[in-house]
Chain A
Amino acid sequence: MMMETRFYGSGLAKLTMGSELPGNLIVVEGADGVGRSTHIELLQGWLEGQGFAVSSTGLVRSALTRRGIELAKEGHSFDRTTMALFYATDLADRVEHEIIPALRSGFVVLADRYIYTTIARGATRGLDREWLAKLYGFALIPRRVFFLRLDPDELIRRTLRRGGELDYWEAGRDIGLAPDLYSSFRKYQSLMLEEFDRMTAQYGFTPIDASRSVEEVQAELRREVANLLDPTLLTPVADVADD
């Protein structure tokens, strides 16, 4: 049930912690439109129904940096190094002020993306992967990282058939990959996928095939989470399709 207190590098300055934390940090990674937030909501509801205390956190939600990052993105005035460091500040703030306190109180923390998205964004923009990995030396190693994997073509169809638009940043428009939005989006998401596939081996992600129905994907996630937290949770998993 507990998770080990381990960091990717030297950890957080001036923070003393025991070797184990009573909670569990579970990360869900994947592109926008792949269903991350849907699955996190479903997992949260399910776990809370089982009596777990659950909190969720997402990228760029820190009290410290949220406004600053939004403003800078509006102005499209970010260089890649500045962007990587700003995101790292956001993450460090949330690790210290949200994630670790919740884990200390025994919560299951569901993180809607973590350091990996920002590492991938930096790497696709030409930043050195080792530099990025060292930068995140303060990050707590999660108990498990689920990677919702989806082919970029399917991702585009999914986004558009819901009436959505292809996002400027998610299309990597800032790096001039292609003259039009569609081609840029497709190219950028393919590059991001390559980074994630690379990191799947490096960081030991659990890849989840996100091309299936919400029910199927959720059932697999619940099986995995139950294995981590408490195998007796598996009993209701069979009924997930009736939810």
Chain B
Amino acid sequence: MAIHDPHSFPGRLIVVEGIDGSGKSTQLSLLQTFLVSEGYDVSFTEWNSSPIVKDTTKRGKKKNLFSPTTFSLIHATDFADRHERSILPPLQAGLIVLADRYAYTAFARDAARGCDPAWIRNMYDFATRPDLSLYFKVDIDTAVARITGGRIQLKFHEAGMDLGLSPDPITSFRVFQNRVLEEYNRVADEFGLTVLDGGRSVVEQQREMRKLVKPILKGLRRTHAPRTAPASATLHATGTR
């Protein structure tokens, strides 16, 4: 099915995966700036952002209405809507689509919440298989240090607080994200994700990322010639989401 077979659209799909605090969003944002400066047409989409599903997710989170099953289902609904509107059309039109999190996030997170892995995989069967899936692997300590250092506070579901693992958000985050990490490792093997060491410096990671992206861009149309400004000028960290 779709998620297992290479697509035949003229565009390219590049996705980043990793736990919160792995640095994937920073890296993807840098890559986007670089690709645009190289003259490519780029479109960006991120997890959990469909306009028709947003209100439901928001209300469900606020009122704590979700169970692991409905949490998993609403994210699949969100993804299906974005796949139809924000992922397929640009791929069909020949653009580069950059996705911050993809179906693999659900495979890791929802399984860590106790959902049946086969059931989750069936749900996302329609998803287009990416041309490149980069998994930013970090240990929990690095992730926690990044999140608590740069961000205000841990989000309820990110920390797995809905599972009642611990009343302390940091402890809960560690326990839950450790489970997510285990699942990610399994998913990386199963779906052939490219593993990057998310513990290295931003610049080192970005250089490796560009090296990995280059071969898959062969034959892709550019709108204009690459700009002469050194791409390294854009290498500054951005906020994570």
Given contacts A13-B67, A85-B80, A96-B70, contact A134 B119 (CB under 8 A): yes
Among B56, B59, B70, B122, the residue within 8 A (CB) of A135 is B122
Which chain B residues border A65 with CB–CB below 8 Å? 56, 74
Which chain B residues border A68 with CB–CB below 8 Å? 52-53, 55-56
Residue of B nearest to A81 (CB): B80
Residue A64 at the chain B interface, CB threshold 8 Å: yes
B114–A13 CB distance below 8 A: yes
- State the main secondary structure of chain B at its contact with A: helix
B115–A85 CB distance below 8 A: no
Residue of B nearest to A77 (CB): B52
A138–B80 CB distance below 8 A: no
Stretch of A87-95, A102-110, A209-217, A223-231 with 4 or more beta carbons under 8 angstroms from chain B: A87-95
Distance, CA A89 to CA B69, complexed state (A): 8
Among A72, A81, A92, the residue within 8 A (CB) of B73 is A92
Q: How far is the CB of A126 from chain B (nearest CB, A)?
A: 12
- Sort chain A's interface into a size bin: 20 to 34
Given contacts A64-B60, A67-B55, contact A88 B73 (CB under 8 A): yes
Which chain B residues border A9 with CB–CB below 8 Å? 116, 119
Which chain B residues border A131 with CB–CB below 8 Å? 122, 125-126
Which chain B residues border A71 with CB–CB below 8 Å? 52, 55
Which chain B residues border A75 with CB–CB below 8 Å? 52
B69-90 vs A, Cβ < 8 Å mask (1 yes, 0 no): 1101110110011011100000
Among B52, B53, B74, B126, the residue within 8 A (CB) of A81 is B126
Residue B123 at the chain A interface, CB threshold 8 Å: yes
A10–B118 CB distance below 8 A: yes
Residue A46 at the chain B interface, CB threshold 8 Å: no
Distance, CA A92 to CA B52, complexed state (A): 19
Which chain A residues border B69 with CB–CB below 8 Å? 12-13, 92, 96, 138
A89–B77 CB distance below 8 A: yes
B84–A67 CB distance below 8 A: no
Which chain A residues border B163 with CB–CB below 8 Å? 14
A134–B53 CB distance below 8 A: no
Distance, CA A138 to CA B116, complexed state (A): 10
Distance, CA A63 to CA B123, complexed state (A): 23
B77–A86 CB distance below 8 A: yes
A64–B122 CB distance below 8 A: no
A7-44 vs B, Cβ < 8 Å mask (1 yes, 0 no): 00110111100000000000000000000000000000
A93–B70 CB distance below 8 A: yes
Which chain B residues border A79 with CB–CB below 8 Å? 80-81, 84-85
Distance, CA A82 to CA B123, complexed state (A): 11
A194-225 vs B, Cβ < 8 Å mask (1 yes, 0 no): 00000000000000000000000000000000
Residue B113 at the chain A interface, CB threshold 8 Å: yes
Distance, CA A176 to CA B85, complexed state (A): 19
B111-154 vs A, Cβ < 8 Å mask (1 yes, 0 no): 00111101100110110000000000000000000000000000
Residue of B nearest to A138 (CB): B69
Residue A137 at the chain B interface, CB threshold 8 Å: yes
Residue B65 at the chain A interface, CB threshold 8 Å: yes
A82–B77 CB distance below 8 A: yes
Distance, CA A12 to CA B68, complexed state (A): 8
Distance, CA A26 to CA B113, complexed state (A): 30
A10–B60 CB distance below 8 A: no
B119–A85 CB distance below 8 A: no
Which chain A residues border B118 with CB–CB below 8 Å? 10
Q: How far is the CB of B180 from chain A (nearest CB, A)?
A: 15
Which chain B residues border A63 with CB–CB below 8 Å? 65
Q: How far is the CB of A127 from chain B (nearest CB, A)?
A: 9
Which chain B residues border A93 with CB–CB below 8 Å? 65, 67, 70
Among B60, B67, B76, B122, the residue within 8 A (CB) of A96 is B67
A45-73 vs B, Cβ < 8 Å mask (1 yes, 0 no): 00000000000000000011101100110
12 sampled A-B residue pairs with Cβ under 8 A: A13-B68, A14-B67, A14-B113, A63-B65, A64-B65, A65-B74, A85-B123, A88-B73, A89-B74, A96-B67, A131-B125, A138-B119
Q: What would 11 more interface pairs be, CB under 8 Å, given A64-B70, A71-B55, A92-B73?
A: A64-B74, A68-B56, A78-B52, A82-B50, A88-B77, A92-B67, A93-B67, A96-B67, A135-B119, A138-B69, A138-B119
Q: Which 9 A-B pairs have the closest CB atoms?
A: A68-B56, A10-B116, A13-B114, A13-B68, A89-B73, A85-B77, A79-B84, A82-B80, A134-B122
